[in-house]
Homo-oligomer: A and B are copies of this chain.
Amino acid sequence: MKKKVTIRDVADYAGVSRSTVSYVLNGVNKMSNNTKEKVMKAIKELDYQPDFTAISLSKKKSNIIGVIIPSFDDSLAPIFKENHYYTEILGGMEYVFRKHNYDLLISGMREPEDCKSWIQRRNLDGLIFLGLFPERLYAEIRLLDCPIVLMDYYGKHGDLYHNIRVDDEQGGYLATKHLIDRGHTRISFVGHDLTNISVDVNRLNGFKKALQEANLPVDEDLLFDGRGSFYEVGHQMGTKLLELGDKVTAIFASSDILAIGINKALQEHKKEVPKDYAIVGFDDLAISSYSVPSLTTIKQNVFNKGVISAQTILDIINQESSTPANITLPVELVVREST
């Protein structure tokens, strides 16, 4: 095991002081070309790799961003397993962070105190909250003294933070209007975790708006909501829908996984999609086009959402953006076989 090459070795080898090496490395532009070359040569010949740990300690900056995802059951596994929305978004973040030499730390979260100590212990440069957390968390994290970006937050502390969302209401509207345009008048809405600050409420609002615009009644009996596994909820709701008989001919599900669960339940009961029931989902995850029939859905560019959240937090860190801003990304209807 050979010893690690440090800045000191480079300095000695090049016959200069450590500060000089540091300056050359950090591009402080006042060294002579001669010295600069000597140092670069030494760095190359010794294969010197600066130590991020030492840099972090010295600069009080870790080049690490923490991403916090709500975990249940003390593990992220069920979320990773089912909700590909999260993993797709992480892909977008990783793409940006890698380019800027940042690393990405992922953690599930139990208590607000946990993220506080996580920041302090790891010297995190920023925190991205991905998903919906208990409302009191948003009050507490304000005190964290660390750049924060929220995603999909609709609660009352929204003005305090940078916030990336898509136009959920417009999405609900487009989905529902599409079904209406196809001639459907008895449309059901299936949501998940429909609290008053979730994305689903906004998708539901879009749903209602489209109905009203078409002078169709909003039948409360056709609105569904569930907790737990998205697929399971969809599957159960699909079965429930069947009991309603011809009171329903179309379904807007607030997420693709829900829609896929519904689709599965309907087909298990020998119903045909889209002949017997039309279904529209939301998200446009990869699996939506794999599905049989492929799923009409509201596409949100999840990858791009990850990219933008990453860029936003880097902007805050570099002081290029300071006043909290809501960024709302557009959505788009993608028509496939399920309608």
Contact = CB atoms under 8 A, between A and B. Distances in A.
Nearest to A54: B57
B106 A104 contact: yes
Interface residues of A, number: 57
A98 B105 CA distance: 12
B76 A94 contact: yes
Nearest to A145: B1
Nearest to A96: B75
Interface string A143-155: 0010000000000
Contacts of A264: 290, 292, 294
A121 B81 contact: no
A158 to B, nearest CB: 23
Contacts of A54: 57
Nearest to A55: B121
Interface in A77-105: 77-82, 84, 87-88, 90-92, 94-95, 98, 103-105
The oligomer's copy count stands at 2
Nearest to A56: B53
Nearest to A116: B49
A121 B52 contact: yes
B94 A87 contact: no
Interface in A227-251: 231
Nearest to A120: B49
Contact of A80 (B64, B82, B87, B267): B87
B81 A303 contact: yes
A53 B62 contact: yes
8 contacts: A51-B120, A51-B123, A53-B53, A53-B57, A75-B91, A98-B108, A103-B122, A291-B292
